[in-house]
């Protein structure tokens, strides 16, 4: 079983604006360094992606996988899981929780649980998870704030 890791960041935008960037999967390769390609495989009736194929290359790790997404009605929570094992992953579960703050900013809490197909010492796995989460949150913050707060 994989361990779960959580990190948070405050972004200078409304939760709606943050959710719009998170849900715009086609643009991930523009702002997420490791993501080379994305493809929305299936959509819900409301147009939100239900399954997305990712092709990533993070130097030491390259992979292609499909994530299934579910959304809270108000988009305050966006969660996903790995549809089937990939070359590098046995399982993946994650979520973004978006909470609006009184000053108009949004606190984004990112939770990620990954079980790799390849063995990795716990110390190195935790360090890699922290780096992945830290990078993902900083890139999200940069993208949202660069495209204008709403």
Average pLDDT of span 103-110: 97
Structure confidence by residue, pLDDT tens digits, 7-40 = 999 999 999 999 999 999 999 999 998 899 999 9
Residue with tokens 């990190």: 7
pTM: 0.88
* Beta carbons within 8 Å of 107's beta carbon, 6+ residues apart: 8, 9, 10, 11, 98, 99, 101
Half-sphere exposure of 85 (CA within 13 A, CB side): 8
Structure confidence by residue, pLDDT tens digits, 62-73 = 899 999 999 999
């Amino acid at each position: 079983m994989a361990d779960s890791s959580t990190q948070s960041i405050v972004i200078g935008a409304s939760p709606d604006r943050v959710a719009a960037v998170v849900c715009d999967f086609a643009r991930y390769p523009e702002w997420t360094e490791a993501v080379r390609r994305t493809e929305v495989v299936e959509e819900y009736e409301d147009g939100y992606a239900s399954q997305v194929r990712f092709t990533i290359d993070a130097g030491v790790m390259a992979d292609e996988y499909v994530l299934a997404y579910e959304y809270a009605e108000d988009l305050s929570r966006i969660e996903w899981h790995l549809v089937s094992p990939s070359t590098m992953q046995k399982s993946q579960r994650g979520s973004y929780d978006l909470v609006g703050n009184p000053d108009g900013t949004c606190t984004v809490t990112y939770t990620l649980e990954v079980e790799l197909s390849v063995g990795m010492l716990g110390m190195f796995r935790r360090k890699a998870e922290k780096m992945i989460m830290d990078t993902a949150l900083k890139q999200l913050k940069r993208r949202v704030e660069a495209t204008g707060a709403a």
